[in-house]
Structure 1
Amino acid sequence: MGGNAVSKFEENLATYVGANHVLSLASGMDALIIGLTALNLPPMSNVLVADNAGGYASLAVLSTGHRPIFCDVNPSDFEMDLDFATDFSDEIQAVVVTHLYGRMADMNSIMAWAKKNDIKVIEDCAQSIGAIQDQKQAGTFGDIGTFSFYPTKNLGGVGDGGAICTDNDLYAERINKLRQYGWKHRYNISEKFARNSRLDSINAAVLDEKLKTLNQSNMRRREILTQYISSFSSGIFFQDRSVALDNVAHLAVGVCENPTEMINFFGAEGVELTRHYPIPDSLQEGLNYLGVDKATPTSHRLCKQVVSLPIYPWLTDEQVNLVCIVAQKWSGSNA
């Protein structure tokens, strides 16, 4: 644990994203939890989270003693609906902005709203590392950016892992304590909500090597997603048809009227599809006791209709072409 390999990776990742500090952790969930803790919000603060993002942000908010407020999303890009969010401007203390499926939310608009209302911003970049908006990397707009290095992520390791980036020296100092028992000095505990959350050196060395080719693998993901989108003439609506630099195509997700039918159709042709994420946070069995402050109909509809195509940078051209051929058949049957 720790050592030169971890320090080197942290330094290189900080250079890559353009942040003053990167602190590695044991997982992306730990990054969210420790990031929220580092903000030092008042007890039981209200934290805005997207209702369609899989529940990870909501669980992190609850784990830090705060209350998630479920935010609806835009029907066009599946990202947090800022018009919806403004209704809670006076009620929330922080927002977790999940860059869903690898596509960045509109951070300039979100930051302008957050600064106006003194709202802390955490960017959940578990799916969006390497995405760029207005020449800034995902994770560098908000107070804190969090990352996951789970093996299937765009920058995936040989085991789990995560990291936080920030330009705030005080946050970085606190995160450094929170990730290792709250130690100010060895055996001197100065943070009461600390834990043991460290990236191991072997994983760090692998991630440091993979960081060198992250841009190329993200480019390959964009190419595959672009091919998929071009292959459908009907029967599905994609989150982002332009696939620009602000989308690193972690997942290839669209919505259709009958996802089960589409999954079965593709499966019969030898292509396995899945779904991200079929249950909105507000309807999760373990979260519904929280209640709903305002209805989130778009999130509910999208969660019912989402379907995910296979997308990995190591897919061969033949495999991608097979998906595209089946996509054309699906569109023909749904014209």
Structure 2
Amino acid sequence: MLQINNLAERINKYKPEISDAVSRVINSGWLILGPEVKRFENEFAEYNGARHCITLANGTDAIELALKAMGVAEGDTVATVANAGMYTTTALLAIGARPYFMDVESRTHNVTLQEVEKALAFGVKAMVVTHLYGLAVEEIDRIAARCSEQGVPLLEDCAQAHGARVNGRRVGTFGTAASFSFYPTKNLGALGDGGAVITNDDAIAQRVMGLRQYGWSSKYKVELANARNSRLDEIQAAILLEFLPSLDACNGLRRNIASLYGEKIDNPHLVPTKVNDESYVAHLYVVHVCHRDSLRAHLKNAGVASDIHYPIPDYKQPIFEDKYQSLHLDNTEQLSKEVLTLPCYPEMTVAQVNQVVNTVNSWKP
């Protein structure tokens, strides 16, 4: 079966580098918040063009602690999209904050300035903008400007968009801060969980550093409330240091696969994604299809895996029961019924890409 993302291929490709990284850490005897973490934080900050990078245990912690560092507290309302798998909403619930759900544009799957304006008019305490599927939000510079004008901190969720650019500038550097995930399937993925916050704000960086380790201002002195233990370990940092130099090249390979899909998929019953510039790093490649279950079954029978990112809008999740029963976001709900993810990862061969294309093109609902 051709998988959505074959991590074994990546591990085999970088096996010598991974072994060296693990050995380096083991030989040092320093396993938590040591030189590998500090070096990765410095290099990832430099890669993105940010002043600070603070690594954490995972990407959801990065969202939560960044928002806390921005001043979001229990009872506050924070704007977010509802088509991104509940990750930001989970962080908000952990804080005790209330989500204000924004709709997205059906072509890009991302939020628009118009929706952001509605949220600002509502009076949200903070704004979270997600660069979904590896595609940068087109209006991120204008969104950041409007949030700044209104005094509303902006968090960019870059968990799926490592390395994407808008007008030559990396995503994650437009807002007040940005969150990243290093989950293994991400464009820059570790061999376990990991996350980070980047920011140019010295005070926010200092608060996130305290919040990731019990709220310490100095060892065993707790000054920040609502902190936690959320640290990237040395082995994962060392592995990420080995992967970071090839990130742009791997993004290019992903983009090439997505471009081939966009050119070669020719089936009147679906709409492929067609983006081929630096704003897209092809974390996931999705098509829009009305008879989704039929296409999934056809793909499976041909030995091709597929997935749905994401089938349930956040406000329709069972956890909320009927709390949002009157809320209807037209594009978000339509996309949840139509999007289907096809295999797309840097190690895919041309033959595998053609296998997917031919299978999709041969499908009839």
Instruction: Please tell me the TM-score bracket, short chain as reference.
Output: over 0.9
Question: Deviation of residue 40 (structure 1)?
Answer: 1.0
Cα contact 1:70–1:293 (8 A) shared by 2: no
RMSD: 1.4
* CA distance 1:62–1:289, change in 2 (3 Å): farther
Are 1:89 and 2:117 counterparts?
no
3-state SS of paired residue (2:142) = helix
Q: Distance in 1 between matches of 2:67 and 2:325?
A: 22
Aligned to 1:229: 262
8 Å Cα contact 1:70/1:292 also seen in 2: no
Q: Which runs of 5+ in 2 are unaligned?
A: 1-31
Give distance in 1, aligned partners of 2:106 and 2:48: 29
Matched, 1:37 2:68: yes
- For 1:273, what is the secondary structure of its paired residue? coil
| Structure 2 Cα separation of the partners of residues 132 and 58 of structure 1 | 25
- Counterpart contact for 2:158–2:178, Cα < 8 Å: yes
Quote the offset at 1:34 in angstroms.
0.5
Deviations 1:160-206 (A, max 9, x none): 00000000000011111001111111100011111111111111000
More divergent stretch after superposition (321-330 vs 168-177): 321-330
2:236 to 187, 192, 203: 203
1:191 aligns with 2:224: yes
Does the residue aligned with 2:119 lie in a helix, a strand or coil?
coil
Select which of 93, 109, 114 maps to 1:62: 93
Stretch of structure 1 that moved more, 250-259 or 225-234: 225-234
Partner of 1:248, secondary structure, is coil
Question: In the alignment, what sits opposite 1:262?
Answer: 295
| Partner SS for 1:127 | coil
Corresponding residue for 2:106? 75
SS of the residue corresponding to residue 212 of structure 1 reads helix
Q: In the TM superposition, what is the alpha-carbon distance from 1:289 to its structure 2 partner?
A: 4.8
TM-score, normalised on structure 2? 0.88
Distance in 2 of aligned mates of 1:255 and 1:5: 42
Gaps of 5+ in 1: none
Q: Does 1:102 align with 2:134?
A: yes
Q: Structure 1 residue runs of 4+, over 3 Å off?
A: none
- Paired with 2:245 and 2:102, the residues of 1 have a C-alpha distance of 36
Number of aligned pairs?
331
Contact 1:69 1:293 in 2 (8 A): no
Aligned 8 A contact 1:231 1:327 in 2? no
Specify the alignment match of 2:160 in structure 1.
Answer: 127
Give the aligned residue type for 2:251: N
> Cα deviations across residues 259-291 of structure 1 (Å, max 9, x unaligned)?
101101111222111110011111111134542
**CA–CA separation in structure 1 for the residues paired with 2:236 and 2:72:** 32
CA contact (8 A) 1:237 1:254 kept: yes
The answer as to whether partners of 2:80 and 2:101 remain within 8 angstroms in 1 is: yes
Structure 1 length normalisation: TM-score? 0.95
Q: Distance in 2 between matches of 1:237 and 1:68?
A: 31
Q: 38-47 or 69-78, which moves further after superposition?
A: 38-47
Q: Distance in 2 between matches of 1:288 and 1:66?
A: 17
Whole-angstrom distance in 2 between the partners of 1:325 and 1:193: 52
SS of 2:362 mapped into structure 1: helix
1:1-46 per-position Cα deviation (integer Å, ceiling 9, x unaligned): 1111111111110110000000100000110110111011354111
Residue among 42, 54, 59 paired with 1:28? 59
* Contact 2:103/2:329, CA 8 A, preserved across alignment: yes
Partner of 2:339: 306
CA distance in 1, matches of 2:91, 2:115: 22
SS of the equivalent of 1:23 reads strand
Per-residue deviation at 1:324? 1.5
Q: How far apart, CA to CA, are the structure 2 residues paired with 1:262 and 1:200?
A: 41
**Cα distance in structure 2, aligned partners of 1:303 and 1:114:** 28
Structure 2 CA distance for partners of 1:299 and 1:198, relative to 1, 3 Å? same
Indicate if the aligned counterparts of 2:110 and 2:131 stay in contact, CA closer than 8 A.
yes
Q: Is the 8 A contact 1:31 1:163 kept in 2?
A: yes
Measure, in 2, the Cα distance between the counterparts of 1:27 and 1:205: 16
State the identity as a percent: 37
Q: Tell me, in whole angstroms, the C-alpha distance in 2 between the residues paired with 1:320 and 1:187.
A: 54
* Cα distance in 1, alignment partners of residues 141 and 261 from structure 2: 29
Residues 17 and 140 in structure 1, CA contact (< 8 A), matched pair in contact too? yes
Counterpart-to-counterpart distance in 2, 1:190 and 1:289: 39
| 1:189-231 superposed Cα distances (whole Å, 9 cap, x missing partner) | 0111111111111110000010010011100000111111112
Deviation at 1:51, TM superposition (A): 1.4
